[in-house]
Amino acid sequence: MARIPTRSNDWGFPRWRGYGAGREAANVRLCDRHGCEEPGDCPAPKSPNSPDRWYFCQAHAAEYNRGWNYFEGLSAEEAAAREADERRDAGGYQQSRHQAWAGPGDGTRSRDEMRALEVLELEVDTSFDDVRLAWRRLAKSNHPDVRPGDAEAAKRFQAIQAAYEVLRAAEDARTWKPRAEA
């Protein structure tokens, strides 16, 4: 009985080829542009509200998108009516309402820190050095010694102090390192 020749790239553990990597050829869809031999991995709609798609390479997809007119063949009134109708149903593309309470930021700052930054008139991604500079500037301009008898300035000064304390405590917690035992 003749032995069937087998060859393998697997020489035991660890595997030398990736999981799922087989020897059979992978099917590659070619670009739908006539004469193009590039892989067609960019889908593009054939017509509005149609599930049919063209599959172009990146260069031909860019060319197709430059000339694409969603409202082609419609009068101005029909195009405006369709746009209004589709905007009514485009709620899924807006920011989700249930997460709107969080407000701006990347999630690294608490709600109290965000309020403190508003009091100090700073952006969300401000460094602590900028926080310190803004605190000094605002504290000097609203200090009771600079504006004696101004109750509104005294209130602003207290809010500025509280905001700075919140941001300082958060920065200390963010950069805390244990003391070395002596």
What is the reported pLDDT for 180?
Answer: 66
The residue ranges of the chain whose pLDDT is under 70 are 1-2, 4-25, 49, 89-107, 180-182
Measured distance CA(176)–CA(164) in Å, rounded: 18
Rounded Cα gap, residues 164 and 158, in angstroms = 10
pLDDT for position 92: 53
Residue whose tokens read 């965000």: 114
- pLDDT of the residue at 98: 55
Given this model, what pLDDT does residue 124 score? Answer: 85
CA distances to 54, 104, 130 from 108, rounded to whole Å, are: 42, 11, 17
Provide the pLDDT for residue 91: 58
